[in-house]
Each structure stands twice: as C-alpha cells, then as structure tokens.
Amino acid sequence: MDCIFCKIIAGDLPSYKVYEDDKVCAFLDVLPIHPGHTIIVPKIHVSDVEGLDDGELCAMVTVMKKIGKAVMEGLGVKGYSILLDNKDAANQHVPHVHFHLVPRKEGDGLGRWPQSGYSEGEAEECLKQIQEKL
C-alpha cells in the first residue's frame, strides 16, 4: 500500500506518535499549523468518513478528546480546533480519513471561515434535500 498514514502506523516511516491503541493512531503533523498539531487516524485504511463504522468513528472521537485535554494541559493552550477534510472537494490531501487537532491561543492569527447567509427560501430547500437523505 502506498498510503503515507498506513506506513506511519506500520512503523515504516518515522513519526512522533502521540497515542496508539488497537484502533487509533495519533502523531504530530510534520507541517504543523501550531506546535502540537496532531493527526488522528484509524488504523484500518479507510479513505473517507463514510467508510468508517460507528464504533471506529467513536474510537477516534474518544482519542481526540483525550489528546485535546493533554494538549491544553501540556502546552498551556486554552483551546483547540478539530478539522476533517473529507474527499477531494474539501481538500483532503491524504486518502486515509484523518482529523487534525490544532492547538489554539487567543490572537493566534487563525481566523474564522468566511460566512454568508441564505437567500429567501434557500435554507428551507437545503433542509428538505438533506432530510430526504437521512
């Protein structure tokens, strides 16, 4: 397999592993947004979040919570952002589902995403289209 995250999990590539158990591996991002930026991945190769079963996703979220607490206490930051780029349209660069946990400080220069509103009737139509698929 040519997946960089699978190679890290297998120990074939060097990494700074923050956490590892039978289902999840977490390691420092080699190109961090801020020090402590951690990547959290399932040990099985799954390209996107829809490919995870609920237990695998829950295991990842449980590890995120644990690492988030450790990052705040260990690095003295007051919060963190969690990001998942899912599929090509969302700029997912590695086709192995992964969450980014990015330590945050007030005034760290990372802003909010651009925001806009809905045109008249657009929210209702969007809601209808989503709910039809649930």
- Burial of 94 (C-beta count, 10 Å sphere; 0-12/13-18/19+): middle
Is 98 an active-site residue? yes
The predicted-structure confidence for 68-113, as pLDDT tens digits, reads as follows 999 999 999 999 999 999 999 999 999 999 999 999 998 888 888 7
118 vs 60: which has the higher pLDDT: 60
The predicted-structure confidence for 22-79, as pLDDT tens digits, reads as follows 999 999 999 999 999 999 999 999 999 999 999 999 999 999 999 999 999 999 999 9
* Token reading at 45: 């190769």
Structural domains in the chain, sorted by start: 4-106 (3.30.428.10)
Selecting among 34, 96, 98, 100, the annotated active-site residue is: 98
Q: Report the pLDDT value the prediction gives residue 112, as an integer from 0 to 100.
A: 80
pTM: 0.89
- Burial of 36 (C-beta count, 10 Å sphere; 0-12/13-18/19+): buried
Closest by Cα among 114, 134, 15, 111 to 98:
15
